Amino acid sequence: MQWEVVIGLETHAQLQTNTKIFSGASTAFGAAPNTQACEVSIALPGVLPVLNKEAVHCAVKFGLAINAEIAPRSVFARKNYFYPDLPKGYQISQYELPVVGKGSLTIQVGDSEKTIRITRAHLEEDAGKSVHEDFHGMTGIDLNRAGTPLLEIVSEPDMRSAAEAVAYAKKLHELVQWIGICDGNMQEGSFRCDVNVSVRPKGSDKLGTRREIKNLNSFRFMQQAIEYETRWQIETLEDGGTIQQATVLFDPETGETRAMRSKEEANDYRYFPDPDLLPLEITSDYISDVKQSMPELPEAMKARFEQEYGLPAYDASTITSSRGFADYFVSATAAFGGEAKLVANWLMGTLAAKLNEEGLDISASPVSPDHLAGLLKRIQDGTISNKIAKEVFDAMWTGEGDADAIIESKGLKQVSDAGAIEKIVDEVLAANAAMVAEYKSGKEKAFNGLVGQVMKASKGKANPAQVNEILKQKLA
C-alpha cells in the first residue's frame, strides 16, 4: 500500500522582551537560579498579573507578517495542570479567543512553492525549569524562566513530508527573527517545535491517529525524528497493529522516537477565562501604527529582487531567506555596480559554503560586502579569472587585505597579453602532439584538454577567452 504522512507543527517562539509577560522581572538568559523570579513568577498568594505591552506588540507584528486577522478582543485563560515548575498550578494562555487568527506562510521545497495555513497564534507564559540532578532525592526548581512571554504558533496539518515540515519550521524561524520578535536561539530554547505526525493510505481524506514529537530544538533532529516516526507508524500498521495517540520524545543518540510513559489519566486542562486578566483590546488604529513600522517582509523583498535586480525566483528566495543575507546582497550589489546575478552567485556559492563550513553567521563574515564587490570588479574587468578569484577570496577570508592588494602581492593578475599567451600555447602544442592529433581526427574533447594544459602552464593566469581563441587559430 502507498502511504501518505500528514504533519502539523506547534511552535513556541520566545518573545524578545526585557521583562516577563505578566511582571517586571527580567528575562535575560543565564542568570543565577531564581534571581529573576519575582513574587509573580513564584506565585506568592495575592499577586496579580499585568500584561506586558511589548509582548502584545510582538504578537501583532507576527499576525501582520502572516497576513492573519488580529482579534480586536482576545481573552486569557487558565490551563490547569500540576507540575512543580508551574507554581500557580495553571499556565496563563489563550484558548477560545487567541490574539492572532488564521494566516499562512509560503514555503519553498525544491523547485516548487507551497502555502502552509496557520491556524492561530496565541500569547502565553513559559514554565520554570526542573533540575533532576540528585539533591538528596529531591528535584531542584529554577523559576527564572517562569513567566517568560511565548507566542505559540499552530499550523494546520498541511505538510506531507519531513522536508516540507523542516522548510516550514525554517521559514518561520527566519520570519520571527526578520520582524525582530524572537532571537531564534534554538540552543537556549528560544524557538522550540512540537511536531504532530500521522500516516494514512494515500488518497484517503481521513486523518490517521497522530503522535506528537515534543521539544525538537534543531532542524536536523526534526528531520530525523519525523523520518523515523513515519517509518515506525507505517511498519506498525502494516504489521496489523494500531497507533495509540501519544507524546513521544526523540533520542538523538539512537535516532529513535519513544513514547513517554503515558499518564494514568488523560490530560484535562479545564480551561476557563482567567478572572485576574481583563479582555485584551486591540484597536485598528494600533494595528495600522504597527503596520507602518514593519520592515519589508521577505515575500515582498523577494518579488522586488526579481523585479529590480532581474534575479531568478530561486536566487531571490534563497537570498531573502534571512535578513542578514538580504542586507549583505544589497550592500555588495550597490558597491559592485555590475551584474547583480554575479553577486548572487558568489553569495549563494562560495560565501555560503564557507560560512557553513565554519559555522558562522553572515553578520560575522570576514569578507565584507565591500570586499566582495572589489573582487567582483576585478573579475568583470578581466583582471582575474573566476578560478583565480576563488584564491583571492580565500586570502580575503583569512584577512590578507582587499582584492586589489592580494592580486598585487601574489602576482595573480590575468595574462591578457596575446604574445605571452601565444608563446605558452606553442609550447603546449609542441609537448602534446598526441592530443593535437586526436583533435584533428575529430575528437572535440581533446580541445578542452589542451585548454586545460595551457591554463595549467600559465598557473591559471591566462585569460581563458583568449586561450580559446588563440588555440582555435593555431589548430585551424
- By the criterion CB under 8 A, which residues form the site for other proteins? 17-19, 23-26, 32-39, 42, 44, 50-56, 73, 75, 80, 82-84, 97, 130-132, 135, 137-143, 260-261, 265, 268, 270, 273, 275, 277-281
Q: Report in angstroms how near the CB of residue 298 gets to other proteins at its nearest.
A: 26
Q: Which of 113/281 has CB closer to other proteins?
A: 281
| Cβ proximity of 317 and 347 under 8 Å | no
Query: Which one-letter amino acid corresponds to residue 69?
Result: E
Q: How many CB atoms lie within 10 A of CB 125?
A: 25
Residue closer to other proteins, measured from CB, 95 or 329? 95
451 is written with which cell numbers? Answer: 585548454
Which residues make beta-bridge pairs with 79? 91
Nearer CB in complex with other proteins: 290/462: 290
Buried residues in 70-105 as b, exposed as e (16+ CB within 10 A) = bbeebbbbbbbeeeebbbbebbbbbbebbbbbebeb
Decide whether 130 or 245 has the Cβ nearer to other proteins: 130
* Minimum gap (Å) between residue 413 Cβ and other proteins: 57
**Distance from C-alpha of 36 to C-alpha of 34, rounded to nearest angstrom:** 5
Task: Round to whole Å and give the CA distance between 260 and 193.
Answer: 17
Measuring CA to CA, which residue among 12, 461, 45, 14 is closest to residue 193? 12
Shortest CB 16 distance to other proteins, Å:
10
Q: Which is nearer to other proteins, 36 or 317 (CB)?
A: 36
Q: How far is the CB of 135 from other proteins (least distance, A)?
A: 5
Minimal distance in Å, beta carbon 33 to other proteins?
4
Phi, psi of 73 (to 5 degrees): -145, 120
Q: Compute the least distance from the CB of residue 334 to other proteins, in Å.
A: 35
Please say which residue, 144 or 466, places its beta carbon nearer to other proteins: 144
User: How many Å apart are CA 430 and CA 218, to the nearest integer?
Assistant: 59
User: Smallest distance from the beta carbon of 138 to other proteins, in angstroms?
Assistant: 4
Dihedral-angle region of residue 55 (phi above 0 means left; psi in -120 to 50 means alpha; beta otherwise): alpha
Host H or E run for residue 12: strand 3-14
Residue type, position 296, single letter: E
C-alpha span between 274 and 48 (Å, rounded) = 11
Residue 186 or 277: the one with the smaller Cβ distance to other proteins is: 277
C-alpha cell at 353: 559554503
Which amino acid belongs to residue 319? I
* Strand 103-109 versus strand 112-125 pairing type: antiparallel
The Cα–Cα gap between 348 and 321 comes to 11
**Least distance in angstroms from the C-beta of 47 to other proteins:** 11
> Shortest distance, CB of residue 212 to other proteins, whole angstroms?
14
Q: How far apart are CA 27 and CA 8, in angstroms?
A: 29
CB of 280: closest distance to other proteins in angstroms?
Answer: 5
Residue 251 Rama label (left phi>0; alpha psi -120 to 50; beta) = beta
- The nearer residue to other proteins, 15 or 301, going by C-beta atoms, is 15
Q: Which of 220, 212, 208 is nearest to 195 (CA)?
A: 212
Which one, 89 or 452, has the nearer CB to other proteins?
Answer: 89
CB atoms closer than 10 angstroms to residue 323: 20
Closer residue to other proteins (CB): 25 or 362: 25
Residue closer to other proteins by CB (options 141, 344) is 141
The CB-of-174 to other proteins minimum distance in angstroms stands at: 24
The one-letter code for the residue type at 100 is: V
